[in-house]
C-alpha cells in the first residue's frame, strides 16, 4: 500500500518554527484583574524601532465565572519580516505555541496581527 501522507511543511520551515519556539521568551508587562500583556521575544526577530520584543500578546480574561465565555487574546507582531506572506506558516506555528503556553488552550478567541499574515481563530476545549 502506498503511503498517502503528504508533508505540508518543508523540513526547513519545520526547523525554523522549532528554532523560534525553543528560543521564545516572555516578559509580563502589564497586569490587571481582567487582562495581561506579555512581550514576546524571538531569537531571529525584533521590533525595528526599539530592537526589543518581536511582538506582544494581550489576554483578556473572563471575570464572570461562566465557562461559556471565551478568553480574548490578541497577538501583535511588530517585526515587519513576519508580515510577509511567505512567513505565514511560521507566524501560525509561533502563535499556536503562544496560545498553548499563555492560555493553555482554554476556550479562546484569537486575533493575530501580522500584516499579510493576520488571521483569527477559535480554540474550543
118 occurs within a structural domain: yes
Q: How far apart are CA 71 and CA 37, in angstroms?
A: 13
- At residue 34, the pLDDT reads 81
Q: For the chain, what is the mean pLDDT? A: 89
Closest to 53 (Cα-Cα) out of 32, 38, 36: 38
115 occurs within a structural domain: yes
Looking at the whole model, is its pTM more than 0.85?
A: yes
Q: How far apart are CA 22 and CA 7, in angstroms?
A: 22
12 occurs within a structural domain: no
- At residue 64, the pLDDT reads 64
The DSSP 8-state label assigned to residue 42 in this structure reads B
10 pLDDT band, cuts 50/70/90, is confident
40 pLDDT band, cuts 50/70/90, is very high
Contact (Cβ atoms closer than 8 angstroms) between residue 29 and residue 40: no
35 occurs within a structural domain: yes
42 occurs within a structural domain: yes
111 occurs within a structural domain: yes
Domain range spanning residue 77?
Answer: 27-123
Q: In the chain, how many domains are there?
A: 1
For residue range 63-121, what is the model confidence (pLDDT) as tens digits?
666 556 778 999 999 999 999 999 999 999 999 999 999 988 678 899 999 999 999 99
Closest to 107 (Cα-Cα) out of 81, 72, 76, 74: 72
- At residue 8, the pLDDT reads 76
6 occurs within a structural domain: no
Amino acid at each position: 500500500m502506498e503511503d498517502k501522507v503528504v508533508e505540508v511543511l518543508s523540513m526547513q520551515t519545520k526547523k525554523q518554527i522549532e528554532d523560534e519556539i525553543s528560543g521564545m521568551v516572555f516578559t509580563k508587562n502589564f497586569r490587571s484583574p481582567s487582562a495581561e500583556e506579555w512581550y514576546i521575544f524571538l531569537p531571529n526577530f525584533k521590533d525595528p524601532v526599539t530592537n526589543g520584543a518581536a511582538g506582544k500578546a494581550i489576554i483578556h480574561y473572563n471575570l464572570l465565572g461562566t465557562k461559556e465565555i471565551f478568553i480574548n487574546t490578541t497577538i501583535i507582531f511588530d517585526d515587519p519580516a513576519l508580515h510577509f506572506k511567505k512567513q505565514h506558516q511560521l507566524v501560525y506555528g509561533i502563535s499556536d505555541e503562544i496560545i498553548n503556553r499563555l492560555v493553555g488552550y482554554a476556550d479562546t478567541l484569537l486575533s493575530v496581527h501580522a500584516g499579510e499574515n493576520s488571521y483569527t481563530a477559535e480554540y474550543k476545549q
